[in-house]
Amino acid sequence: MTQGRHIVFFSFPGVGHINPMLGPVEALAARGHRVTFVVAEQFTGLLRDSPAEVLPYHSDFPASVTKVDSADDAVTMIIDLMREGFAALEPALERLSGDRPDLIVHDTISGNAARVLARAWDVPLVESCPVFIENDDDEIPGSPQPPDDHPAATGFDHRDPRLERFGEEFGAGVSALLTRHGLDPDLAMASLTPSGDEPRLVYIPRAFHYGSETFGERYRFVGPTADCRPLEGHWVRPGDGLPVVLISLGTSMSKDLGFFTGCIEAFRGKPWHVVLTLGRGADLAALGELPPNVEAHNWMPHPSVLKYATALVCQAGMGSVLEALRYEVPIVAVSHSGETLANAHRVAELGLGRHIPVTEASGAAIFAAVEAMAADDSLTTRLALMAKEIEQAGGAPAAADALEALLP
């Protein structure tokens, strides 16, 4: 029997990284396990209804992640990520030293604190992956690659004096912390390198992941883990009988009111009902007077609208993409770089929607893409197959099964 074990989740400060963990946490708690969730202070509200015991920590990680457009940006990002990777270590040591876990789960971006504790306490470690990940050959086969002269392709200057200075000062502080707790200070440096055989829990269906055939036994593709049903009743479809399109960009792009006003004009008077979500804090009044077939909100749970939608226009965050695919809704992906670019490319590659680079995403281009998808009968079959793949991946129960199997 594995019931009643203590499982600790170390998260990364981002909604798209925390939310996929919540389903497995709930499933494990329902099976009698005790869960501690380590989370940045500013995201504790996401666990308001969670059965987990919350262990908050202070994080200075930037709310809007820096775009890596230069070698200088790359160094800044490395330093930010390194600082974040160890940010939870001290509060975790203070809380968990006398209540050691039986299993530790950590986000794929930020695993240093988790690796230190797992190695110090000889506890099994699992990587939680809400985004596309490399296989055992450190590749994501078939994913779009940055230009040869881009910092993401060329790397950065390892001799940058900021890196050396940060490494010396920050490393000394972490080593001193470990020494105070009676742990080997060399664990700090060792935590920079994954073991290479950690089980990896991937919240993407295998059929959607790049090069899925190249991933071995330690990868468990469970698909999205959220239960969307409680969110479906927030929006009521109007009685105009028009097909529905949901337009919602991520927080990094929601301040671009020009994009939204362009969409409003493109759909004005057309036989579509448009639902816009701009994000909390956005000034809806700045959109001006809306036509009868357009409504705007600061926030609306997407499943509530996707249940009726004919199309989703989004920034192509993985959460939004998989949510739409669960409802068999085609996607117009408006992406600008990095992770969302890979997601958008995959949507188009699999014939599940269209990709429009942000520099080309005028209201007219969005309207034309939505109209084209509505007329494409072949989309229906591909979307239904992907929705079936997502269902068969198993979601939160499958994730809980995989984690329980690793309990000693």
> What pLDDT was estimated at residue 38?
98
The span from the CA of 285 to the CA of 277, in Å, is 13
The residue with greater pLDDT, 154 or 118, is 118
Q: Do 147 and 235 share a domain, yes or no?
A: no
User: Residue 66: is its pLDDT beyond 60?
Assistant: no
185's tokens: 């200070």
Q: Read off the pLDDT of residues 269-279 as tens digits, 9 standing for 90 and up.
A: 999 999 999 98
Please tell me the predicted confidence (pLDDT) of residue 145. Answer: 72
Examine residue 1 and state whether it is found in any structural domain, yes or no.
no
217 and 112 housed in the same domain: yes
Q: Is 117 left (phi over 0), alpha (psi -120 to 50) or beta?
A: alpha
Residues 11-34: what's their mean pLDDT?
96
Q: pLDDT tens for residues 310-328?
A: 999 999 999 999 999 999 9
37 and 116 in a common domain:
yes
308 lies in the same domain as 252 = yes
- Helix orientation angle between 338-349 and 318-326, rounded to the nearest 10 degrees: 30
Residues 207 and 162 reside in one and the same domain: yes
Structural domain containing residue 15: 6-227+393-404
Within this chain, do residues 355 and 371 fall inside the same structural domain, yes or no?
yes
Q: How many domains does the chain have?
A: 2
Could you give the C-alpha distances from 358 to 91, 286, 316, 333, in angstroms and in order? 41, 21, 11, 9
What average pLDDT is seen over the chain? 91
- Are 111 and 196 contained in the same domain? yes
Q: Do 240 and 382 share a domain, yes or no? A: yes
Kindly report, residue by residue over 132-163, the tens digit of the pLDDT: 999 988 888 888 876 665 555 556 677 788 88
- Domain of 239: which CATH number? 3.40.50.2000
Whether 222 and 164 share a structural domain:
yes
Task: Pull the structure tokens for residue 95.
Answer: 């809380």
In terms of domains, do 192 and 258 share one? no
Name the pTM for this structure.
0.91
Residue 309 backbone dihedrals phi, psi, to 5 degrees: -80, 150
Provide mean pLDDT across the span 93-119. Answer: 96
Are 58 and 180 contained in the same domain? yes
Distance separating alpha carbons of residues 366 and 373, to the nearest angstrom: 11
Which range, of 63-67, 280-284, 395-399, averages the lowest pLDDT?
A: 63-67
Is pLDDT above 50 for 1?
no
CB 335 within 8 A of CB 344: yes
